[in-house]
Amino acid sequence: MTQTRTTPAPTTPVFCTIVPPHILGRLAESDDPAWHEPARRTLEHDALHRTRRTGLAAQARAPQEARAAADKPNRTVYDAGHQQNLPGTKVHSESDGPSKDASVNRAHAGLGATFELYLKVYGRKSIDGAGLPLDATVHYGEKYDNAFWDGQRMVFGDGDGRLFKDFTIPVDVIGHELTHGVTQYTANLDYQAQSGALNESISDVFGSLIKQYALNQTADQADWLIGADLLAPGVHGQALRSMKAPGTAYDDPQLGKDPQPATMAGYVQTTDDNGGVHLNSGIPNHAFYIVASALGGKAWERAGQIWYDVLTGGHLAKNAQFADFANLTVQAAQTRYGASGAEHEAVVKAWSQVGVVGK
C-alpha cells in the first residue's frame, strides 16, 4: 500500500515539454540542416531549462492577488516575438476581444477549455484549485519545436513548418501541459522512471479528456491521439502519441517509428529522458483507454473521475510506481462506485491487460 501523504506545494516545478527528447534527438542527427538545426536548437534550449530550478509558481504571485472570481478564468497571453525572453510582451487580456493573431486566439481558447473541464467536471478552480491566473506566451524562439509548462506559464513555439506546425493548434497539447501544473499542485510526482511516466501519462489522460469535453465526444468517438494536427503535411503519422494503440502514432523517415510500449512486456529500461518518462507513459495511457472504452459514454465522467480522485486524494506518493497507482485507482473505483460496479471491474481488468500487477 502506498503510504498516505499530504501534498504540500512543491518548491521545484518540473520543466515539461510535449515533444519528447527521443524525437528531437533523431532529428538532430540528420545530415540535412533543414531538419537538424531546429531540433538541435530545441534540444539545447530544453536541456538548459531542465537543469534550471525555479521557485514555486504560486510564490511568484503576490499573496494579496484577488481571486474572488475563481470560478472564471483569468487569462493573459504574451508574445515572445521569436525571442526566448519570458513572458514577452503582453498582447491579450481576459476581457479583450479576438486578436488578429490566430496563435493568441488559440492559446486563449485552450487555456479556457482546460479551465472549464477542471471546474465544471471536477469542481477545481484553475490548476491550483484556488483560481490561479493562467498565463501563456506564443511565438517563442526561432522555429522552436516544442511547447512547455515551466511552473508558471504555458509557452508555445511556432514549429519549424516542415515537421511541426504551430504548437497552439492542438487543444490537448495545451491541456497536457497545464495538467503538469495540476500535478505540481497535488501529487507532485517525481519526474523520473515510473513516477515520471505516471506524471506524463496523467497529462496525456487529461489532455485527451479536455479535447473530448470541448468536442462533446464519447469514448468511442474520440481519436485518443495526443497532438493530432501538430504534424506538418507530408509527415507519415497521425500525432505524437496514441493512447488507443501506443507505438502506432507515427512511422516517418525523419521522426522514426513511435517507440512507445503498450504493456509491461515492452517496458523500456533507459537512462535517457529521465528514465524513459515519455516512452513508458504509454503503459498507463493504454490502461486508461481500456477503462474508458469498457465503461463507454463520456470518458471524463467515470474513468476520468477515478484518475482525478487518485491524483488529488493525498495518497499518491511522489515516487509512486505503476503498481501503486493501479492499486489506488482500484480503491478509488470501489470507494466511489462500489466493489461490484462495472467501474471497479474495468479498472482491475485494464491494469491486468497491460501487465501491471498490484501489490
The backbone torsions φ and ψ at residue 291, rounded to the nearest 5 degrees and listed phi first, read: -60, -50
Helical axes 322-337 vs 303-312, angle rounded to 10°: 120
Q: Based on the number of CB atoms within 10 Å of its own CB, is 1 exposed (0-12), middle (13-18) or buried (19 or more)?
A: exposed
Instruction: Specify the amino acid at residue 255.
Output: L
Active site includes 37? Answer: no
Specify whether 92 is catalytic: no
CA 34 – CA 38 distance, rounded (Å): 7
Cα-flanking dihedrals φ and ψ of residue 327, to 5°? -60, -40
Q: 10 Å Cβ neighbour count for 52?
A: 10
Q: CA-to-CA distance for 289 and 233, rounded, in angstroms?
A: 27
* Cβ atoms of residues 166 and 159 within 8 Å: yes
DSSP state of 164: B
Task: Give long-range contacts, CB 8 A cutoff, 24+ apart: 292-295.
Answer: 292/219, 293/219, 293/220, 294/342, 294/346, 294/349, 294/350, 295/219, 295/342, 295/343, 295/346
H-run or E-run covering 323 = helix 322-337
Q: Do 122 and 185 meet the contact criterion of CB atoms below 8 Å apart?
A: no
CA distances 67 to 125, 208, 299, 310, Å, are 10, 28, 30, 26
**Three-class DSSP category at 129:** coil
Q: Spot the catalytic one: 36, 108, 177, 343.
A: 177
Q: Rounded CA gap, 303 and 317, in Å?
A: 21
Which of the following is catalytic: 36, 139, 180, 278?
278
Active site residues: 177, 278
